[in-house]
Each structure stands twice: as C-alpha cells, then as structure tokens.
Structure 1
C-alpha cells in the first residue's frame, strides 16, 4: 500500500470510493451515506483543505483522511465553539486545523494505515492547533482512541452531543506542529 497526498479534485473524482470506505469504517446505513456524500464534496472546497489517501497496489482505496481550516460559519466549528468557554475558544479555535474524516477499511485496519494517514495529514496541516471529534468509546479497546492518544491528543470536550446524533462524542485536540514521531510511539497502528 502507498500513501499519497490528494488535491480536492482527487477526492471528488474518487467520491464513490471515499463514501464506501467511510460507510464500512463507520458502519452507517446507506441512506445516511448519500447525505454524507454531499457534505464530503462540499468540504473539498474549504479553505486550507488537505487530504491523503492510502491505495492498494491495485489502486483500490484502503483509507483516506482530510481536514481544513476551521472557522466561524462552519457547522462543526460553531457547535464546538458554543460549548467552550472564552479561554478555550481563544486557545483551540483561533488558528485551528480540523481533522474532519480519517477512515480505514476494516480489512486494512491494524496495519498502521491510520497512523500513517494521520501523521501525513498533521504534517500538512495549517494552524497552531488541531481538533477532531470521535465517538465516545472504551479508550483501551478502540483503535481510534489509542491512535489519537499516541499522537498526543488531549480532551477538549467529553460527552458532547451534536444536534441530530444521539451518540456522545469527544472533542480532542493537540498543538501543532507535529513532532517527528508520535507521543509515546510504540508501533503505528490504525
């Protein structure tokens, strides 16, 4: 497998594959995936958009990740901003890159794909801080949680509820730039 940077056009050209990986990784129903398709396509045009993809030797999409500059007027940014106090808003959101999606097909998980994608994405990120949201889970058992903790992400908000989703999310953040190796790196997993 090889990791490649993607331009907005690359993501849009492979949007069917991106939505497929997203659906497999998140276990979402197909009707939800059609709505996400529109969001993902719109995200590719956001300021500071950065993306990476992991391709198999046959060219199939094994995983992807993307983000952009977080700012007022963006739904996610405004939801998180409303839950933070003024000091945390200033610290976390003033100059922030948002990791919007980071997914690996279940069959490719456990081989370091997610870690390589996250490292590459954070190396390309533009900002002083980076934020992401992830469903609340057993931190010891969740691959995503272990990955984010190894990369030095800390709790910003816990048990946060986004409108329209009954699941609780954690908002995690860290300072940029990314050090040469992840914090407490043992081996890359993902």
Structure 2
C-alpha cells in the first residue's frame, strides 16, 4: 500500500535494524516496486532475497519515515524510502557478475581482483515517488556509507539516455564513476552501469580509477 503522505509531514532519515526491516519488509518492498515502476506482484519474488541479505556480513540499512511536525517520529510512522547494502564477497552472485563484466570491459584480472577485494555493495536505494524531491536519496546514501571500513562502494543502476534521472544525478554528484557500462546481468535484458567510488566519501573520486592496459573491449 502506498504511504499516505501529508505535505506538512517531514521525512526523517533513520537507521533500520534487521528486526525493523523484517517487520516492515512488505512496506519496504512496496516502495521498491513503486520507485522502480515494476508490476504489482514483483515484491513477492524479491522478498526471500531481501530477507536473506539481512544475514550477510556488514549488512546495514537506513530508511526515511514521516514525522508529523506536531509530534515526534516513531517506529510506526509510514516508511517512504529504504536503502541497504553489505560487504561484497566472491561467493555472491552480484560479485561474480561484476567480475565477469569488468573483465569483458577491459579491466585486467589484477585490477579487477583489487577493486573487488574490499567493497560495500549498495544493493538497494529507493524513494517512493510521492516522497521524492526532498534530498532523501542523498541523505540515506551518506548515512549508509558513513564509517564503512571497505575501500570502495559499488552499485549497479539501469542505463538511462543522457543519465537523466534522479538516481544518476545523485550518484554523479557524490562522485561515483564508471566501472562497467552497458552490462547485461544474467536474467535481465536491460543494460546496466556499474559505478563506484572510494571510501570514505571525502576522498576524491579520481582515486578510484585504475588505468586499463588496453582500450575497453565492447561488452558482450
């Protein structure tokens, strides 16, 4: 169900515990479906995956809840945004896909392994369409990446003509640069970009770049 958003309410970014996400998984997935414009019912297929991710090492989640200006926000306040991620590892599907994508894109094996040796995977970041335009995406991403011990943050996002949507503008504004472009993950026909930046956030984005030994090969 879509959250009932009162224009007078103020979205507040909060940390979400594993118990919070388990208790509000249905609500969080409804935001995911609305933000991604997926057909209703998609949430049923994603629920087991989100639940499994909670147990992964380094998992962290944040969200945004609505706070009535005349009262304090509480855990029962409507959830309007959610983001989470965890420490990447070689046995994970996304890690294996990105490894293959980097090699196809022209990265050397040495550079690929170095990039993937210590990273935080930004797995999901979604703001309900009715709550967009309040800076929640940036606030959540900054909070999620604060004090991480990994060397790099990595994410994948669908390719968009001219990079002209809120997600792309956010990632570029926070210094995420190209790792792989026009990559097709197994089971999804859409082209994706894999973006990354060094951690902590105050480091210059250019320190992430690893020169390719040759011109990048076209993605397969």
Normalised by the size of structure 2, how large is the TM-score?
0.79
Once the 2 structures are TM-superposed, how far is the Cα of residue 140 of structure 1 from its aligned partner?
4.6
Picking from 83, 91, 107, the partner of 1:73 is 91
In the alignment, what sits opposite 1:99?
A: 122
Once the 2 structures are TM-superposed, how far is the Cα of residue 87 of structure 1 from its aligned partner?
3.1
In the alignment, what sits opposite 1:62?
A: 80
Structure 1 regions of 5+ residues with no counterpart?
A: 184-190
Q: In structure 2, how many angstroms separate the alpha carbons of the residues matched to 1:4 and 1:103?
A: 14
- Higher Cα Rg, which structure: 2
Runs of 4+ in 1 over 6 A off after TM superposition: none
* Partner deviation per Cα, 1:11-63 (whole Å, 9 max, x = no partner): 11110111000000001112322111111111111100011010001611110
Q: Is the 8 A contact 1:50 1:124 kept in 2?
A: no
Paired residue secondary structure (2:41): helix
Structure 2 regions of 5+ residues with no counterpart?
A: 1-10, 69-76, 104-108, 207-220
Q: In structure 1, how many angstroms separate the alpha carbons of the residues matched to 2:47 and 2:111?
A: 32
Aligned pairs (5 A) from 1:81-160: 81-85=99-103, 86-160=109-183
Once the 2 structures are TM-superposed, how far is the Cα of residue 88 of structure 1 from its aligned partner?
3.2
Q: Aligned-residue CA RMSD in angstroms?
A: 1.9
